[in-house]
Structure 1
Amino acid sequence: MDMLWFNMSNQSCNNPENLKTYQHHIYAVVYSVILAPGLLGNVLALWVFRIYIRETKKAVMFMMNLAVADLLQVLSLPLRIYYYLNDTWPFGLPLCMFCFYLKYVNMYASIYFLVCISVRRCELTIHPLRYNSSKQKGDWLVCGLGWLLVCLCCLPFPLLRTPVYGMDSNDSHCFAELPLRNISSPAAWSLLITAELLGFIIPLILVITCACKTAGSLKKVTEGAVPDRGEKRRALKMVLSCAVVFLVCFAPYHVTMPMDFLVKAKTLSNCSFIDFIQRIHPVTLCLASLNCSLDPLMYYFTTNEFWRRLSKTEIPENMMFTRRLSCITGGEDLDDD
């Protein structure tokens, strides 16, 4: 069987060191910019969602898991920034592979939970009576299965990398500088098509469909539908925000990924096009990390209760009111505006 050997750059077309310097500068700058807002925004989001976890009816469970995925990515950024600034990785191969793995886990977990949020908000807008508090356990199951699926499907990313150094070696390459293993052409294309189909195309169709259905619900009154148009508009705002984050952060990467694959497979001969792909692909990879900072903004501007409960006076009052109502109702789950 014909085997393909993937190299990190097509050395016949450009200077590998010049390309490496460019890529390291891009990564270092972008990751430094998103580190602080990503960390603060997602920690704050988890704090708010943890206090008001009873609001699972409005996809808070999925937003909480999305914030966890973003926070995991953010926590690995300082090590990445160190590497790209110093061009050395002194932390050992296992941590390198783990940080490399987290990048893709965050990307596809974010895609998964953005789809879950969109579907839930669309479902509640069109068929609110189908949801009841007993579905909270179902949400936990959906989240757990999602994490398991994402973690398993992302394993090929680190497993296909060939370690070029040992724990005691002076060679300290990491991330994109790790070469790919020998892999057959059919197997490589199968992995690529699967990643594009399950990780991008199907989720994109679902998110856009939810946005169209939610927008359509504003124009007609369906039996059992949400009667409050303001509530429908808030739901539409949330679904549209999920679509915007999806398109801005993940669409560019999945457009350039197949072309980057062709470059690494050395199947292209146009040096200008190869150089363009090698320079634009790191930018799209950085956009995929930008969702760590955009997701908290989405929570703030599209979730009515999120920003209102950030005020110091509002949180204690709401907590006391919730406790009193819980005592009156016997501890039943409460639905907020």
Structure 2
Amino acid sequence: MGILGFIVPTTVCIISYVLMLKALRNSMSDPTIAKRRQKAIVLIVTVLIMFLVCFTPSNIMLMVHYILLLGEAENNLYGFYITTLCLASLNSCFDPFVYYFISEDFRNHVKNTFLCRSERTVERMRVSFSALKYSKKSNTYTSDTGNTQSSSC
């Protein structure tokens, strides 16, 4: 059970992640793509470490439990096993935060929430600023509606 339920899938995950990391690092020559690839590398490493930290202890304890049962030895490790099982369950809670914190949209949403700005207000601000065009020749700002304002710059 330990081999088929944990060791084989873990080995497949580690090999897959290492191959993805190698592929991403080999294609980092273009500086415009390198920044996005760097984010992907950080995400892959973070997910792999979280997977190993959260699931390895509980699976090791499960294997120890069954080995002790087979050997008919006294098993006083049940409390520790339950603790490691809670750690494994925490992985499901941590995953959404990792994926969302890597997203710039989520970070902006959190920032706007802390600044008490609604999405509607932020969208209006975005539209207002994008509609404003700067004319270098006349040193004025012109909006899409045709209104012109002088610049003090």
TM-score interval for Structure 1 and Structure 2 normalised by the shorter chain: 0.5 to 0.7
Deviations 1:229-270 (A, max 9, x none): 11001111211121122111111111111221233x35233x
Of residues 6, 18, 32 in structure 2, which corresponds to 1:212? Answer: 18
Of residues 105, 110, 115 in structure 2, which corresponds to 1:305? Answer: 105
* Letter of the structure 2 residue corresponding to residue 213 of structure 1: L
1: CA distance, partners of 2:41 / 2:26: 14
Of residues 66, 86, 89 in structure 2, which corresponds to 1:289? Answer: 89
Q: Sequence identity, in percent? A: 24
1:221: which partner in 2?
27
Alignment of 1:130-279 (within 5 A): 192-193=1-2, 196-197=3-4, 199-221=5-27, 228-263=33-68, 265=69, 267-269=71-73, 271=74, 274-275=75-76, 277-279=77-79
Cα pair distance change 1:305/1:214, threshold 3 Å? farther
Q: Structure 1 residue 295: deviation in Å?
A: 1.8
* Letter of the structure 1 residue corresponding to residue 38 of structure 2: R
Cα pair distance change 1:301/1:206, threshold 3 Å? farther
1:48: which partner in 2?
none
2: CA distance, partners of 1:226 / 1:285: 43
- Maintained 8 Å contact 1:210/1:239: no
2: CA distance, partners of 1:202 / 1:227: 37
- Maintained 8 Å contact 1:300/1:306: yes
1: CA distance, partners of 2:13 / 2:31: 20
Deviations 1:287-314 (A, max 9, x none): 1121233223312332333222333458
TM-score by length of 2: 0.59
Q: Structure 1 residue 215: deviation in Å?
A: 2.9
- Maintained 8 Å contact 1:308/1:314: no
2: CA distance, partners of 1:286 / 1:209: 26
Q: Structure 1 residue 228: deviation in Å?
A: 1.0
What value does the CA root-mean-square deviation take over the aligned residues?
A: 3.3
* Greater relative contact order (Cα < 8 A, sep 6+): 1
Cα pair distance change 1:262/1:308, threshold 3 Å? same
Higher strand share: 2
* Letter of the structure 1 residue corresponding to residue 64 of structure 2: M
2: CA distance, partners of 1:301 / 1:241: 12
2: CA distance, partners of 1:226 / 1:219: 12
2: CA distance, partners of 1:314 / 1:239: 32
Alignment of 1:7-46 (within 5 A): none
